[in-house]
Structures are given as C-alpha cells and as structure tokens.
Amino acid sequence: TFRQLVFSGVQPTGNLHLGNYLGAIRKFVALQESHDCIYCVVDLHSITAQLVHEDLAGQTRSITAAFLAAGIDPKKHIVFNQARVPQHAELAWIFNCVARIGWMNRMTQFKDKAGKDRENASLGLLAYPSLMAADILVYRATHVPVGEDQKQHLELTRDIAQKFNNDFSHRIAELGLGVEMQMGDEVVNGFFPITEPLIGGAATRVMSLRDGSKKMSKSDPSDLSRINLTDDADTISKKIKKAKTDPEALPGEVDGLLGRPEADNLVGIYAGLADTTREAVLKEFGGQQFSTFKPALADLAVEKLAPIAAEMRRLMADPAHIDAVLKDGGERAGAIAEQTMYSVRDIIGL
C-alpha cells in the first residue's frame, strides 16, 4: 500500500481569511502530528484567473508566513511554492491529455470564475483541476485536507488517477510499478493512489459575514464580508459586530439553525475556533441574543487569531528567511517529484 502522505495548497491571491484558516490551515497544523505533510503555496494557480499581479512574490511570502505563524514546522515537513518544482507543470500537461474536456466543463468553480464570458476565460482556468491533480499526485499523496468548496476538484483528481492507472495498467505491471490499495471492499493496483479528501469539522464552509448564501472569499470586494488573518483586534470586533444576523435569540438545538444561515455561520465559526461542535456552542449560548453572543465570538476570534497575525508580521520583516524556507522546501519536494516523473515518463514511453 501507499505510504500515508498529506498534501495541500493555498493560492497567493488576496488576503487569507478565517475560512482559509478554519477550512484548511488549522487542519494542516493538526495533521503534522500524525502524518508526513507537504504544504504548497500554489502560485501557478493564482495566474489562471488573473495573469498580472502587483506583487506575486510578496503574496507568496505572506502565505508562507501564515503557514509558519499558524504552527507548520518546515523542518519536519515540507513548505514550498509550486513554481519552484517544474514537475507539477510537467505532470499537469500529461493529465491534460488524460482528462476529458467534458470533465472540466462540469466544474462549478470554473463556471463561477469564468462568469458569462466563458470563451474569454484563460485556458489555464479551465485546466486548473488538472494542475491541482498534478500537485497532489506528483507526490503520490494519499490525503488532502481542504474546505468543502474543493470537493469536486478532489473527485476529479481521483478520476484522473483512476484513468491513468487503467489506461497504463499493462505498462505499470510490466515495469513492476503498481501498488496495491484498498478501494471499498476491493483491492486494486495502480501507480497513483486514489486520494482521500479530508473535509471535516464545524467550519468546512465558512460563509460571508454580509451574506449567508456566499462563501467567505478572498475575492469578495467587501472587506466587511471576511475576517482577514492580519486584522487587528478592533477590526475583528467591528466586523463581527456588523455581521448580518436575524432578530431571534440563538436556539438551544442545532435543528433551530435550519433556515437561519447567518446564525448557523456564526455558531459554526465559534465552534471551529473553539474546536468543538455546534451542539456544544448552543448548549452554552442557546436562548441568548446576538448582542451577548457576538462579543463572546469576537473575544474568541481575537484570542485565536491575534498571535498568528503578530507572528506573521515578525516573519514578514525578514523576507530572506522566508525565501530560504521556500528554497529548502522546494529542493526536498523536487527530489520526490522527480522520482515520480521518472517513472511516469517510463510508463508512457517518453
């Protein structure tokens, strides 16, 4: 069977927010205890939606600083940026030839990001999930912690791995490169693992503070819609105070959150930050008004986020150190990626 290995990535675009933290980065930190982990700043992904960025290198450092400030250990694990390891792009090209156009056209993120003028979206935006599959599979990673929004892309990664394993099954066997893995009740054999998404906990989909029907996002034009990882205590409190709610008190049971997306979101955020469940939060706050709950939530958010923001600022003052971390991580990641690509070229006959 495959050695258990965790991979995930974050784009260096815009401000990291509470959704990124609770949905992804906090899980990255927790998984370090039990797994070998590779965490990547996916700079090649960030040019799919918008080619020209004012300070892409600075954004890449800032995400790296957030990884380190949140508690990722770049010595025990690997932290690097995607463009440093060209094997990602090489495998992505091969996966472009494995995946079908119809698979890409079905991706809801592509439809959202391309908008109405789909013919004018970059080809890279359409092929984004191929590159994401390559990011994961170039390390033959078995587990990927992500937020709920990435579920469909992870399914595509599994489809690509499966099609590659099937299309080249004879060649993989001939070269003795197959690995056995459990798939449900079956044992199958392949070169690439069928990766498992790790989506779980109270805050896998954090919503905008201004609109309970939209996810909290880096690209939302309203800064009041999200809590940025670098917001100071006053800003965090102000944004939570202004968060959209309804006039009812909090319910005593989780069922009472049905049809109340804003209340559900704030309770979910509290549960995520406190590392507990919605049930537990409602046990404490059920029957209380938002005028009581919001200040408690703001205090908790400040308590959890302020130390990360302070550490990010400290790290960002020394860009040479961050660059050294990325260089070292890139070298170690590149060695693994090249081993995979050596076999992939052999399997295909390149």
Residues identified as active-site:
113, 215, 218
Query: Which region among 86-94, 209-217, 251-259, 279-287 touches ligand ADP (by CB under 6 A)?
Result: 209-217
Q: Which of 35, 215, 278, 304 binds ligand ADP (CB under 6 A)?
A: 215
Beta bridge partners of 12: none
Q: Which of 62, 82, 150, 230 binds ligand ADP (CB under 6 A)?
A: 150
**Three-state secondary structure call for residue 81:** strand
Query: Which region among 17-25, 120-128, 172-180, 245-253 touches ligand ADP (by CB under 6 A)?
Result: 17-25
- CA-closest candidate to residue 242, choices 271, 219, 284, 209: 209
Q: Computed from CA positions of residues 243, 259, 206, 300, in that sequence, does the dihedral angle turn out positive or negative?
A: positive
Question: Residue 5 or residue 10: which is nearer to ligand ADP going by CB?
Answer: 10
- Measured CA to CA, the distance from residue 275 to residue 236 in angstroms comes to 19
Query: Which region among 20-28, 112-120, 288-296, 333-341 touches ligand ADP (by CB under 6 A)?
Result: 20-28
Comparing every residue's Cβ against ligand ADP, the nearest one is 23
- Measured CA to CA, the distance from residue 252 to residue 108 in angstroms comes to 35
The answer to whether residues 300 and 270 touch, using CB atoms and an 8 Å cutoff, is yes
Question: Residue 165 or residue 225: which is nearer to ligand ADP going by CB?
Answer: 225
Query: Which region among 15-23, 166-174, 235-243, 277-285 touches ligand ADP (by CB under 6 A)?
Result: 15-23
The answer to whether residues 62 and 315 touch, using CB atoms and an 8 Å cutoff, is no
Q: Does 48 bind ligand ADP (CB under 6 A)?
A: no
Q: Which of residues 217-276 bind ligand ADP (CB under 6 A)?
A: 217-218
- Measured CA to CA, the distance from residue 113 to residue 111 in angstroms comes to 6
Query: To 10 degrees, what angle do helices 278-285 and 290-316 make?
Result: 130
Q: Does 149 bind ligand ADP (CB under 6 A)?
A: yes
Q: Does 157 bind ligand ADP (CB under 6 A)?
A: no
Nearest-approach distance from CB 23 to ligand ADP, in angstroms: 2
Q: Which of 113, 205, 244, 294 binds ligand ADP (CB under 6 A)?
A: 205
How many residues belong to the chain? Answer: 350
Give start and end residues of each alpha helix (H) in the chain: 18-20, 26-31, 43-49, 56-70, 87-98, 101-105, 108-114, 123-137, 151-167, 169-174, 233-242, 261-274, 278-285, 290-316, 319-348
Q: Which of 146, 229, 309, 312 binds ligand ADP (CB under 6 A)?
A: 146
Q: Does 11 bind ligand ADP (CB under 6 A)?
A: yes
The answer to whether residues 211 and 4 touch, using CB atoms and an 8 Å cutoff, is no
Question: Residue 190 or residue 215: which is nearer to ligand ADP going by CB?
Answer: 215
- Measured CA to CA, the distance from residue 28 to residue 148 in angstroms comes to 15
Q: Which of residues 102-121 bind ligand ADP (CB under 6 A)?
A: none
Question: Residue 78 or residue 199: which is nearer to ligand ADP going by CB?
Answer: 199
Q: Does 24 bind ligand ADP (CB under 6 A)?
A: yes
Q: Which of 19, 212, 329, 330 binds ligand ADP (CB under 6 A)?
A: 19
Q: Does 20 bind ligand ADP (CB under 6 A)?
A: yes
Q: How many residues bind ligand ADP (CB under 6 A)?
A: 17
Query: To 10 degrees, what angle do helices 290-316 and 319-348 make?
Result: 90
What lies within 8 Å, CB to CB, of 170 at 6+ separation is none
Interface residue list for ligand ADP (CB under 6 A): 10-11, 19-20, 23-24, 146-147, 149-150, 204-206, 215-218
